Amino acid sequence: MGEYKKHWWGLIITLIIAFILLGWGGFEIYRTTPPIPDKFVDSSGQTLITKQDILDGQSAWQSTGGMQLGSVYGHGAYQAPDWTADWLHRELVAWLNIKAQADYGKAFDELTSIEKMGLQQQIKEEYRGSSMGSDNTVVLSDTRIAAINQVAPYYIDLYGDTPELASSRESFAMKNNTLPDLTARQNLAHFYFWTAWTSSANRPGTVATYTNNWPHEPLIDNVPTAENVMWSIASVVFLLAGIGLLIWGWAFLHKQEEDDIKLTVPKQDPLSLIELTPSQKALAKYAFLVVALFVVQIFLGGFVAHYTIEGQDFYGIPVSDFIPYSLARTWHIQSALFWIATAFLAIGLFVTPIIHGGKDPKYQKLGVDLLWVALIIVVVGSYIGQYLAIAHIMPAHLNFWFGHQGYEFIDLGRFWQILKWVGVLFWLVLMLRGVMAGFKGEGDKNLLFIFVASVVCVGLFYGSGLFYGEHTPIAIMEYWRWWVVHLWVEGFFEVFATVSIAFIFYNLGLVSKRIATGSSIASAALFLLGGVPGTFHHLYFTGTTTPIMAIGASFSALEVVPLIVLGYEGYEHWSMQRHAKWMERLKWPVLCFVAVAFWNMLGAGVFGFMINPPISLFYLQGLNTTPVHAHAALFGVYGFLALGFVLLIVRYLRPEYRFSDKLMKTGFWGLNLGLLLMIFTSLLPIGIYQAYASITEGLWYARSEGFLQQDFLETLRWVRTFGDVVFIIGGVSIALQVVKLVFGQSPKHPKHDTPITD
């Protein structure tokens, strides 16, 4: 530890506290997950719905793309309804009308205010009091059974090809006959009913539902709980306190280190003086794979966005029978995860020989080549499996393993998921073979140790996504899913990226080893303090209890704190261009790192906290405010970071070439401007308009066909085309630059550090 003893102890204590909270929260979720009753029965004891019916319905839902077609508990896609909120509202309206006819002989809307109040009190008592008995059975009233029987055919027909609902399918971007098998559609309806039951029945011993009263539904007083309001206020207090302490500490503790003042920037790029190893040269194909998947992803993104206007066509061409919305959105998200992860793997493999003394470990190039082939197999294999699953060509019992898991961001079948983890573990082995040699030399090893620790965490923690199965309860599945999506990506990948940048800048001679080491360890502690227990802010309304909400709200607010100083980090990266003339060669990778700082502040910080407090997410979960945060944070942060890594790699693979300023200006500013246009001219205005509808009427209305198909909102979705086109032009320009560098012919006698125009 040496002079970094305080840094290390701060990080160790942070990790101990954070994982104790995350582990205890997991135990609490397992203990209190909403039950799936053995059966739902009528007053005479006759079985209506069994547990197996619900589990089979869960499988049927997964086979349609699951979260990629509408959402459940607010998690998923945004064009079709949230099926939980939609079923609940339809069933409540049916119950009120059936009861009004039985008691008063007329429709509910025709009743007097006093008569309505009486029925509303009855429905609230019945639905909130619908508890499971000691025999794991729930008894349903005759009125509720009649309401269910009235609602279920709508979903059965919607997922089929009934002509009467063709317009609705188009509005929801559903293909005809989304789920061909009638029994599967019936079980799907049972699954949606169960999610609505958990959202309307009080958790035993409390006055709130299993989902903490989510979704907002005035008919049964599904409104924010007192705890929701209290922890929302607390999260704002913690945020302000964290910012205050950070600024206080920054002002008093931040100082220019003596060795940084004395630092002399090299006259030549130190890395350009190192002869590239065979494994480093082999990374050219990684760079090509990254930009190839990037181009596929952005074109799919434009395709998916157009589906929100023409639900089954692409400018009049019927395409939904071949590449339906759910499949296109699946590939769009999976492509993003694949190309970003590939770029991160590549930068690790690029750094490894540098740590290993400028040479490859034995058979390193072979390992790099094999890993690239494995990546291709996983990408192509998982995409084919997802197509076969959603087209219902694949047998239903194979879907979860080889087709589509149905869970956003981890959509690939379990077999491909395992194969992907094997690939990540193989990368870990390739990394460790090289970096462990670095510990044998003289000098301070703290920077190397934090780098190795981040590599190990990246390699191991993806495996947490294997701890749930096909029929795992949603609350438990969400716990493990967010271990991957939040903890692995936003936690350990962020630490790995931070340490990698620090390590590269140290080897370039731009920062001292002391600064690089201290900032890496401190940044890791700051990111993980809020990031690890902050995982729970995704789980407020998935069937968890108040303590989960408390931990999630409190610590996720702290995630925003380190993002406040990212403007300074962006300036630091920008100013590095002026440290030496040769830094001009690295202008565009450095600008990508500047963009990362900006989008981290805006996308992860501002837009992240916008939907972070429980009171906010209660109304905003499942609205277009979520993709505002998702696009700005996922591409703005990790996308630009990945592109920066790739540009850095190809810069050294082709030192004899300059970047084309025309291509890079078009690419860099096109991506930034396109993303801003996408957010501020379309996604955010739609999200704000939806938020008002959700607050005043309920989530069911904000996601309904009648609301989203208004001319005003359709125009806003058309407007997004301008931002998408600008973004695509930017993306293609960056990709073209990388391709030109990867496949460009080298001059016979290249001169290092001598600019040669491409």
**Rounded-to-integer distance, Cα 454 and Cα 28, Å:** 28
Mean model confidence pLDDT for the chain? 91
Beta bridge partners of 317: 314
One-letter-per-residue 3-state SS of 380-434? HHHHHHHHHHHCCCCCHHHHHHHCECCCCCCCECHHHHHHHHHHHHHHHHHHHHH
Predicted local distance difference test score (pLDDT) of residue 568: 59
The confidence band for 176, taking pLDDT boundaries of 50, 70 and 90, is very high
Per-residue pLDDT of 665-683, as tens digits, reads 999 999 999 999 999 999 9
CB burial of residue 116 (10 Å; 0-12, 13-18, 19+): middle
Q: What string of DSSP letters covers 68-121?
A: GSSEETTEE-SSS-BHHHHHHHHHHHHHHHHHHHHHHSS-GGGS-HHHHHHHHH
> Is a pLDDT exceeding 50 seen at residue 200?
yes
One-letter-per-residue 3-state SS of 675-704? HHHHHHHHHHHHHHHHHHHHHHCCHHHHCC
Q: Taking Cα atoms as reference points, which of 300, 375, 374, 295 lies closest to residue 333?
A: 300
Beta bridge partners of 209: 202
Predicted local distance difference test score (pLDDT) of residue 574: 62
Residue 355, CA distances (Å) to 349, 361, 436, 438, 504 in order:
10, 11, 8, 6, 11
Rounded to a whole number of angstroms, the distance between the first and last alpha carbons of the chain is: 47
> Is a pLDDT exceeding 70 seen at residue 258?
no
Predicted local distance difference test score (pLDDT) of residue 754: 44
Residue 271, CA distances (Å) to 27, 141, 268, 435, 652 in order:
48, 75, 9, 17, 8
Q: Taking Cα atoms as reference points, which of 433, 171, 209 lies closest to residue 313?
A: 171
The confidence band for 196, taking pLDDT boundaries of 50, 70 and 90, is very high
**Rounded-to-integer distance, Cα 752 and Cα 755, Å:** 8
Per-residue pLDDT of 79-121, as tens digits, reads 999 999 999 999 999 999 999 999 999 999 999 999 999 999 9
Three-state DSSP at 524 gives: helix
> Is a pLDDT exceeding 60 seen at residue 132?
yes
> Is a pLDDT exceeding 50 seen at residue 707?
yes
One-letter-per-residue 3-state SS of 258-309? HHHHCCCCCCCCHHHHCCCCHHHHCCHHHHHHHHHHHHHHHHHHHHHHHHCC
> Is a pLDDT exceeding 60 seen at residue 750?
no
The confidence band for 576, taking pLDDT boundaries of 50, 70 and 90, is low
Predicted local distance difference test score (pLDDT) of residue 749: 42
Q: Report, as an integer, the average pLDDT of 479-508.
A: 87
Domain ranges of the chain: 37-223, 276-439, 658-748
Per-residue pLDDT of 624-654, as tens digits, reads 999 999 999 999 999 999 999 999 999 999 8
What letter represents residue 104's amino acid?
A: Y
What is the token pair recorded at 657? 């070439």
Cβ-based neighbour number of residue 450 at 10 Å: 26
What single DSSP character describes residue 635?
Answer: I
